[in-house]
Amino acid sequence: MITNPSGAIQAYDKMLRQGGASGLEARDTGGADFSSMLRRAAERAAETVLEGENQTLQAAAGTADLNEVVMAVSKAEMTLETAVTLRDKVVQAYQEILRMPI
């Protein structure tokens, strides 16, 4: 278990200075169709969240580097926030379409 709060603060500070990526950043799709692009983005997001979970479990067991745990958890958190925001925007757009007069 992590018992050094100052180490955790330093690890978060280091992650912020390095500019942790969310796992959903823009990438070249290579001309793939939209559904393939969404599927790959969802797969990458799931992998990012799973890595955060794995690092958390290793931290609980006392076998993980604190910096790696902070980076993985931060990436997972940003990925989840991005996915939730995208979901909300899609639902909002769908509701707007439903309200359109025919």
Give yes or no for residue 1 having a pLDDT over 50. no
Mean pLDDT computed over 81-98:
92
Band the pLDDT of 77: cuts 50, 70, 90. very high
- Write the pLDDT tens digit of every residue in 16-43: 566 554 554 555 556 678 788 888 888 9
> What's the confidence (pLDDT) of residue 39?
86
68 vs 7, which has greater pLDDT? Answer: 68
**CA-CA distance, 68 to 74, in Å (whole number)?**
10
pTM: predicted TM-score of the whole model, two decimal places: 0.61
Give yes or no for residue 85 having a pLDDT over 50. yes
Residue pair 2/60 in contact (Cβ under 8 Å)? The answer is no
